[in-house]
Amino acid sequence: MSEYQNSEEKAFSTQRAPLKKEVPYWRKAKNYKLPDAPESVGWTRARAFFLSREKGNVPFQLECGRSLKNVVIEYEMYGELNEDKSNAILITHALSGDAHVAGWDSEASEEYRPWRLSVPGWWDNLVGPNQPFDTSQFCIICSNVLGSCYGTTGPASPNPDDNNRPYAMKFPPITVGDWVRSQAELIDYLGIKKLYAVVGGSLGGQQALEWAIAYPERVGKCIMLASGAKLPVQGLGFNHVATVSIRSDFFFRNGLIYSDEREHNPLMEERRRTGDIDLSYWKIANRNLKSLHIARMLAHITYLSPSGMESKFGRRLQPVERRPGEAKTQDKQENELAVHGYLTHQGQSFVERFDANSYLLIANAMDQYDAAAKWGGGDLAKACSRIQAEMMVVAFSSDWLYPCAESHSIVMALMQNHHPVTSVDVDSNYGHDAFLVEEYKVSRIIRSFLMVKAEDDRRDGK
């Protein structure tokens, strides 16, 4: 059996294995689509867009006034562009997301993104043939944001101005506007003049809004879910606690968390066309950074809701989950509250796949974004007056990271401009994560909105 077949076998071994009763219910295998399912996009491969090279090696200018050299963007595409390239939908991801929206990563291995061996893309049940994002009709695109740790230039990338050592905390501040401009460069590279739609939830929703405002003539439809024109002050507070925790961690070492080894990166090895650009990531030396673990646990509390946590966990006990090879000790309790186990698991799985420097950069971009201040001098209605896209704004009743009021403020700003908007409030007990968890409700909403062609296309008879 080949190494590639071995990786396929491992990808589904957890689903075929019998579930033990002591496994917490929230960790049991989910009903994922297999890659040969009719509704799946199947096995996927990431793609690389060499932004700097395509622009004549001119550095990419950032809103902070600094620039980045040798910028590369990792992205994925599902479905085919039609002849006039008018069927492209851009999906923008949230804080901890990536370009892998759907399907099964064919390049994942025990050494390279092992967490993808047992799970498909993060919106897999919405993307594929005859799904809401119908790949038999649309071409779906998602790119990883600047500053992250999933293939796009970020803190672990080699810094050409520092002997190709990792950027670490020398990586310049990134904004939502920077992300959208880099996405626009990718869309240009693909030869797409106008997007059929831009769709995003949470921080991805802010990118979708920025697209509609910054490039009004290039967006046909815009869908925002569980998002707003700014992060409310309570969210700013939670982000501050998380980032202070990371920065004050002795083992964070002011961002110097990388080893002397490079990460095996098949994407960059296979796509590199010039020998003078070093694109491989530096490996993270400490994958057990407690402060990042704590930051993720804190964030997950904001993604849920009080009533949802009560119904999901209550005060139920479960066996303490030990890491592989960890022995039982007399001083360690055998059972713990289910909510404690859940948060511990979320924190642990996060530090195994994310970069603390990236977390700081992305959280700061989330904090700083304010569409009203940037585009309307503090007036959201003025900012939204630039929008030409057909808008849909979706809020979730129990979301307390981006409460319904944040979505409603965008709706009101659009109405002040006499701009048509579809406003949907979804009754849900899942909190902020509802845009990912409430797949059935979200599917119906998105499908119905995308089915009707944008007004400009109807007028042009397309």
Q: Which active-site residues does the annotation give?
A: 202, 399, 432
Helix (H), strand (E) at residue 143? strand 139-143
Surface-to-core class of residue 47, CB atoms within 10 Å of its CB (0-12 exposed, 13-18 middle, 19+ buried) = middle
DSSP per-residue codes, 206-240? HHHHHHHHHSGGGEEEEEEES--SB--HHHHHHHH
| Contacting residues for 16 by C-beta, under 8 A, at least 6 apart | none
Selection from 198, 47, 42, 189 nearest residue 120 by Cα: 42
Residue 110's alpha-carbon distances to 4, 45, 180, 285, in angstroms, are 11, 17, 33, 17
* Phi and psi torsions of 320, nearest 5°: -65, 130
Burial of 460 (0-12, 13-18, 19+ CB in 10 A): exposed
Cross-strand bridge partners of residue 403: none
SS3 of 330, please? Answer: coil
Label residues 120-133 b or e (16+ Cβ within 10 Å = b). Answer: bbbbbbbbbbebbb
Check if the beta carbon of residue 236 is closer than 8 Å to that of residue 243: no
Could you give phi then psi for residue 290, rounded to 5 degrees?
A: -60, -35
3-state secondary structure of 258: strand
CA atoms of 249 and 352, how far apart (whole Å): 17
Question: What is the distance between the terminal CA atoms of the chain, rounded to a whole angstrom?
Answer: 49
Q: Residue holding tokens 């925790």?
A: 245
